[in-house]
Amino acid sequence: MFFLIDLWTHPVLQSNIYYFSFIGAAVLCTTWLLSRRVGATTPPGPRGLPFIGNVLNIPSNHPWKIYQKWSRDNGSDLLFLRLPGHSLLILNSAKAAQDLLVQRSNIYSDRCVYRAALSREAETRKKFDRPVSTMLSDLMGMSWVFGLMQYGDQWKQHRKLFHREFTGTPAVRIHELNAARRLLNRLLTSSVNYARDMQLTTGDMILSATYGITPKSEDDYFIQLAESLVGAMAAVAAGGFLVDMLPSLRFVPKWFPGGGFKHKAEHWKRLGDKARTVPFDHVKKQLADGTATPSIASHFLESLQDNDLGGIETREQMQNILAEAYLGGAGATVGTLCSFVLAMSLYPDVQKKAQAAVDDALSGQRLPDFSDYGTIPYLDAVVNEVLRWHPGAPLGLFHAANKDDYYEGYLIPKGTMISPNVWAILHDESIYGVDTEDFVPERFLTADGRKRNDIPDTDIAFGFGRRICPGKLMGRETLWITAASILAVFQISDPVDREGKPLDPNAIEYTNSMSSRPPYFDCTIKLRNAAAESMVLDGINEG
């Protein structure tokens, strides 16, 4: 999360405390004074300190749970935190998120921005011209990631292209299916921690669909390239760089004390360039050699006219969305698959019911495919419950207010960061019942096993409004086909922690990151019966 650092323990600040103290105090003081509105009341929140506001109040563990508690204590769905440069508004109910991020999407569709000096042209058009992070945009050159673009024509073009290529097409589904079946084959003899298999499966699904690349292990070059860039972006999102609080520091020379962040930025910029171009060029070479595997990239390149200027522009956009498909999907999808495995190991009765439902649909004689999608209500309920129980992005994607707004009598100042507390919304007892901490797929079903229409699906796990994740359908399909395939042939049991001790369901702490995952655990995954191995091997031969 941008800005959310402890100012007094940050190593960069400690090593340059005298150099930055005057600049920092001046900037924070000025920002604080400019951010005030005479006679206006902002939503309730914890009392902060002068100049630094609520920086020291930011929870380090399970912030989504603490924000929910603070919101309840204040008797409001809104929770307001004052931070240097910008404030943060947490939306802790579906109604608040719907009212602001969907009904007023014209105000809240920008990504987080910094209060920077705007050009006259930009001021006239009422647009922000600085993306989410100085480190990401100015120094790492990541403005090509359309998830970080401000709402506008460029963002619309990228999203439209992404939606066309990735949403529910047979070309994508065949890669999802084959990757799931390769996972089953690996699980027959796998000796690594299950999470590495889930990481490889996610990379397999995305890389094979986008570039026709089938990685053989989690150490594959293309997976490591993408994972390195994901890690770099996560490091920036964790708020570890002072330049994101004081953008003027981008002018500090890299040789100057405290300028080491520029060395990292240069390295990460090269990673970003490689992530966009290397796999794309790999497909171009394979097409020239006649060895390309059908994929989104190969299909696009085959139809592209190199002498068409519009095609060249579209080619740049295609490079961007193909690279972002992995960056945007890998972290959250891996975490979601791990949550599925965790739930099945902790709730054996649920696993038995899910296996019975899959067996009934498939007659226990074949593996699932997408002709079964949407025909197994209990499995659909399991997928919904995985997304609800521990959403991959518990604090959602940040939005930003592009002008002052008022809601329920409160002022939401221009530039305020907006975070929908997805975890709190999906654990709303008035909607999902009093047992929201437990894994109960039946909450989505009627007494006779049909889908309940009065309980909303968990699509909000993928975001709200115009900023909803464009890979939503692919993410849900990936979870569904992986869960269905595993349940058809394997039994998951005996979860243990790093020390080999039985996992305590009440002591599970998910990571506090933009893509949250369960803690390390291992489990036993074994074939359900003698016929299961033949089904796995037959499925590989079919794929």
Report helix, strand or coil for 410: strand
Ramachandran angles phi, psi of 445, nearest 5°: -125, 155
**Nearby residues of 517 by Cβ (< 8 Å), 6 or more positions away:** 195, 331, 334, 335, 338, 339, 510, 511
CA gap 290, 293 in Å, rounded: 9
Q: Distance between alpha carbon 86 and the CA centroid of its chain, in Å?
A: 23
Q: Give, rounded to a whole angstrom, the gap between the first and last alpha carbons of the chain.
A: 41
| Strands 405-407 and 410-412, bridge-based pairing | antiparallel
Question: Position 369: which residue type?
Answer: D
The reply, when asked if residue 523 is annotated as ligand binding, is no
Q: Would you tell me how many other CB atoms lie within 10 Å of the CB of residue 25?
A: 12
CA dihedral 462, 464, 465, 468 (to 10 degrees): -20
Ramachandran angles phi, psi of 260, nearest 5°: -60, -25
Q: What is the DSSP string of 483-541?
A: HHHHHHHEEEEEEE-TTSPBP-GGG-----SSS--PPP-EEEEEESSHHHHHHHHHHHH
Contact 350, 439 (CB under 8 A): yes
For helices 530-542 and 472-489, angle between their N-to-C axes, nearest 10 degrees: 140
CA gap 521, 504 in Å, rounded: 11
Both tokens assigned to 490:
């394997």
Question: Closest Cα partner for 252 from 236, 263, 268?
Answer: 263
**Nearby residues of 504 by Cβ (< 8 Å), 6 or more positions away:** none
Beta-strand runs (E) in 35-109: 78-82, 87-91
* DSSP H or E stretch at residue 254: none
Binding annotation: 469
Return binding residues for heme. Answer: 469
